[in-house]
Structure 1
Amino acid sequence: MNDQTRWARFRRSEDAAGLALISPTLIVALLLLGAPLALMFLYSFLTDSSQPATVDWTFTLENYTAALTEPIYRAVLWRSLYVSVLVTAATVILAFPVAYFVSFHVAPNRKSLWLFLITIPFWTSYLIRVFLWKVILGFNGVVNSGLKTIGLIDEPLSFLLYNTNSIVLTLAHAYAPFAILPIFVALEKIDRSLLEAGQDLGESRLMTFWRVTLPLAMPGVVAAVLIVLIPTVGDYVTPEVIGGGKLPMIANLIQNRMLGLDNRPLGAALAVVAMAAVGLLSVAFVFANRRFLKKTTR
């Protein structure tokens, strides 16, 4: 078979049709996502220039050395990962019961209504939701005013805002729908006869959930974890508003180095290091999930 015949057969195949279908999206993704990432990676090896808004095209590893060894950069990166893990754990743990209830206990003709209600937070801007939490948790906010009105406190509580807990709470609320929806989709795909078979074989409801429902729902859980974990590490608005600038995360540090100090190479190196850390954390979670599935399905 010559090359022309192979090419003609490939053009008529389903693979060619699929490739033609995704090609425009792939090209746009490469231009709008791949090109900026490649440029940032290139910038991370350059040298900062004394001239404003310019870089010295001398290649160096000093940016990565500073990003990995300077105590302030390591501390902010660890704080970002810590906050992101807390947000992810809180969001997914709270999202699973909601998704489970909608999937297993809500009538089929009412599930669309519940999903509609879950997506209501998307109706408003993310920035507005963050500022609303500042109003709720503020010194003279809704929580303090309510507690003073019913006589539980005499002075406003100062620990509700500008700390890690308030950042975690705000981010968990903002990303809750992103966790609920993929878990719900995974639960909807579970064949209910498998659960009935497990109980017919003498398993309790709890063991049926542990050995059947949870393993089958894990693709949705993994998707929810990654959807929440990856963007929350690089969140900029919430630490700035809810944290009051006192607890900067890696995105705030990158913005400060790139725009505040006009050191783009260092900012780019911090961004690359943050992406690498998130990538390693995500891969570790995926492998841990595989080991969990092997143990529970034996």
Structure 2
Amino acid sequence: MGQGLTREARQGLITLSPALVFAILLLAVPLLTIILFSFWTQNFLEIDRTLTLENYREALTDPLYRALMMRSLRISASVTAVTVILAFPIAYYISFYVRPEKKALWLFLITIPFWTSYLIRIFLWRVILAYDGPINGTLVELGLIEEPLPWILYNANAVVITLAHAFAPFAILPIFVSLEKIDRNLLEAAKDLGEGAVMTFFRVTLPLAMPGVLAAVLIVFIPTVGDYVTPRLVGGSGGTMIANMIYVQIFDLSNRPMGATLAVVAMLSVTITLAWAILHVRFWVHLSDRVGGGAAGLALAGVAAVVDIGVLWGLWHYGEAWLGPAGTLGAMAAIMAGGAVAIAVFLPKGRWGI
């Protein structure tokens, strides 16, 4: 028996080896190269390979880099919230109200935007949101506004709108898959036990669909933080994100180590932010369940959320006076990462699947 298992393990290793080597070459090696570059410095046209933390000191203390990183996280969070909130009703309608033989057609229609180049879609939104574009023109013709709105293009609002449209299918599909896996008998049982449609949704449907919602959040949030094209074409100066600065450092200023440093800082920021947000939702739901849910549970969870977010907000706005720029970011990272680890270790997954 042991010899058979050893042979099977050897065969499995041989089968997986090409894919493993391929993944290491295409993922791990470039990532390690970027990390290594971040500890070097640019000396005119040559790279000084002496290991140093100078790039990280500059990236964490320079107000421009900090502002761009925070703006990137804020824009990505807004895009994720808008996309998921709008995607859920569409996925819900397809799953629960569209006949089974028609669902494939609806999913096919959702993927139609992928038939068009991403650049073309961005340029179309640039035309739609323009000062003399169809949105402003229609509002003026209807008499709803006296002059075109100047704040819907070349700023963060335009970036959010464009990215939300671009990533909508990526949010709809995983949510739809989670909704399709829900046993309809559970919904019937909830109704038989006296639950109304609204409470059935919040106590049965939404918790069971949370794995799809979580997948949608990850799929949308992670790539939008590093998006470069959309902020460049429709963002203007008010919509510039960290990826644009990485491009400037590497290609315009020929400072590859600083570009690599900003990339590493962006990756760490995304990882810590997602871990904090996802695991704190688990904590807030746990607090709500401890008091039996309902209005009391919602109030307790809301208070905990306000306290958690307020601590980080206070550190960001007032911590620099006591800790300095780098110390403030370090304290925030320690609180966010430490809290996420503590929740992951001591609180098991709840009924929401988080």
Mapping of 1:240-251 within 5 angstroms?
240-251=232-243
Match runs of 1:1-298 below 5 Å: 6=2, 8-12=4-8, 16-17=11-12, 19-51=13-45, 54-153=46-145, 155-291=147-283, 294=286, 295=289, 297=351
Deviations 1:122-150, CA, capped at 9 Å, x for gaps: 11111111111001011222222333444
TM-score normalised to structure 1 length: 0.91
User: Can you give the 5+ residue segments of structure 2 that lack an aligned partner in the other structure?
Assistant: 294-350
Q: Distance in 2 between matches of 1:7 and 1:142?
A: 72
Deviation at 1:156, TM superposition (A): 3.0
* Distance in 1, Cα, partners of 2:21 & 2:39: 26
Query: Would you say the 8 A contact 1:63–1:265 is kept in 2?
Result: yes
Counterpart contact for 2:87–2:172, Cα < 8 Å: yes
Quick one: distance in 2 between partners of 1:205 and 1:195? Answer: 9
Tell me the amino acid that sits aligned with residue 37 of structure 1. L
Q: Secondary structure at the match of 1:242?
A: helix
**Structure 2 CA distance, aligned partners of 1:232 and 1:100?**
24
Taking a change above 3 Å as real, the CA distance of residues 21 and 206 of structure 1, as seen in their structure-2 partners, is farther
Alpha-carbon distance in structure 1 between the residues aligned to 2:20 and 2:112: 31
Residues 155 and 237, structure 2, Cα contact 8 Å, conserved in 1:
no
CA distance in 1, matches of 2:82, 2:207: 20
**TM-score, length-scaled by structure 2:** 0.77
Closer, same or farther in 2 for the Cα pair 1:73/1:135, shift >3 Å? Answer: same
Shift of 1:9: 2.5
CA distance 1:273–1:125, change in 2 (3 Å)? same
- Cα offset for 1:246? 4.2
Show the counterpart of 2:325: none
Unaligned runs of 5+ in 1: none
Tell me the amino acid that sits aligned with residue 169 of structure 2. Answer: P
Q: Supply the distance in 1 between the matched residues of 2:237 and 2:121 (Cα, whole angstroms).
A: 18
Distance 2:279 2:245 in 1: 30
Percent same amino acid among aligned pairs? 58
* 3-state SS of 2:273 partner: helix
Distance 1:215 1:80, change over 3 A: same
Q: How far apart, CA to CA, are the structure 2 residues paired with 1:215 and 1:150?
A: 43
Distance 1:178 1:20, change over 3 A: farther
CA separation in 1, counterparts of 2:146 and 2:175?
43
Cα RMSD of the aligned pairs, angstroms, is 2.0
- Closer/same/farther in 2, CA of residues 40 and 21 from structure 1, 3 Å limit: same
Structure with more contact order per residue of length (Cα contacts < 8 Å, sep ≥ 6): 1
Stretch moving more, 149-158 or 116-125: 149-158
- Asked if the contact 2:151/2:157 (under 8 Å) is kept, the reply is no
Higher mean alpha-carbon deviation, 154-163 vs 243-252, is at: 154-163
Given that 1:215 and 1:293 are in contact with CA atoms closer than 8 Å, whether structure 2 keeps it comes out as: no
CA distance in 1 between partners of 2:176 and 2:285 (Å): 19
What is the distance in 2 between the residues matched to 1:58 and 1:97? Answer: 54
**1 CA distance for matches of 2:24 and 2:151?**
45
